[in-house]
Structure 1
Amino acid sequence: MASIWLTRKQSLAESTGGFHKNRLLDVAKEKEICVGDGAVRIPADALEWQFVRSSGPGGQHVNRTSSKAMLRFCARSSQHLPEDVRQRFLAREKSRITRDGSIIITSQRYRDQPKNVADCLAKLSVLLERALVVPRVRRRTKKPRSAIARRLTGKRLRGETKRLRGNQPE
């Protein structure tokens, strides 16, 4: 089992909290993320991690631990994505992409950091799997003549009904 050293920047607020600057996290069994039967492989060094304090209830525990995981993946400049997958990914997630072409995925679902890291990786793999799917080209279908005739007959009858409502001598 390979472990990945993930570094995070220590803020001034965290410097007194007793946190370590480098954390050894058993994030993944391998040193890369494989998506879509190995079609896309993203090495761990292409992912940037940051850990911050979670929001919500939890009392002293939530105020002292940085269990929320934030994953930053620069999709625009990544050479690990094929060009067509990159374009689909950027188009699908354009509202979530930052100015520098990165996507930020966060997770604070769990109380411990490794589970939130795994959740971020799962979210990223779902987004990449969606981008791997080539959309089908829509072929325009022609309406049958019978449907066109039915529509025109209905319009004609409705117009006749309206015409008969007016101009009646008293």
Structure 2
Amino acid sequence: MFGPVTLRGDVVVPEDELSWRFSRSSGPGGQSVNTADSRVELSWDVSRTGVLPPELRGRVLDRLAGRLVGGVLTIAASEYRSQLRNREAALVRFVALLDGALAPPGPVRRATRPSRGSRTRRTASERRHREIKAQRRRPPSD
């Protein structure tokens, strides 16, 4: 119905690799909320897909490790009353999530040392903080 999904880096996920599941939504809908299967779950098996080269698959598996269950990415959408709009919302989320996961890693951070000025500002701030707290203490009783 929706066709293949194009992601970052000319990666195209064919429609037959996407699995759709529909169920009743708990969201808005009035009288039709208990009869229409408007909630949508989109699933894609990242670990078994033949679309991604090994390095990209490893990157996606690593970056989305918290969202994967058995190597399968599942995205649910139930904010609309219409099943079609929920399918579109799930696809938009799917593309955004995978585009972020497929993005190349950023530049490696070079370790730097704090400047002399920043060290003196920090120690002056710590000294002021110590003095303020010392003034709050009860004076020693003799």
Structure 2 length as normaliser, TM-score? Answer: 0.75
**Aligned mates of 2:112, 2:35 — CA distance in 1:** 61
**Structure 1 runs not aligned, ≥5 long:** 5-27, 159-170
Name the counterpart of 2:37. 66
* Residue 15 of structure 2 corresponds to residue 34 of structure 1: no
Q: Deviations over 1:45-78 (max 9, x none)?
A: 0000111000134343010010111111101111
Would you say 1:96 and 2:64 are equivalent positions? no
> Cα RMSD over matched residues?
2.6
Tell me if 1:105 matches 2:75. yes
SS of the residue 1:85 aligns to: helix
Matches within 5 A, 1:152-167: none
Aligned equivalents of 1:101, 1:88: Cα separation in 2: 13
Aligned 8 A contact 2:20 2:41 in 1: yes
Flag the structure with higher helix content.
Answer: 2
> Any stretches of 5+ residues in structure 2 without a counterpart?
129-142
Q: What letter corresponds to residue 85 of structure 2 in structure 1? A: K
The one-letter code sitting in structure 2 at the alignment partner of 1:85 is: L
Q: Which has the higher contact order (CA 8 A, sep 6+)?
A: 2
TM-score, reference length from structure 1: 0.64
Which structure would you say has the larger Rg?
A: 1
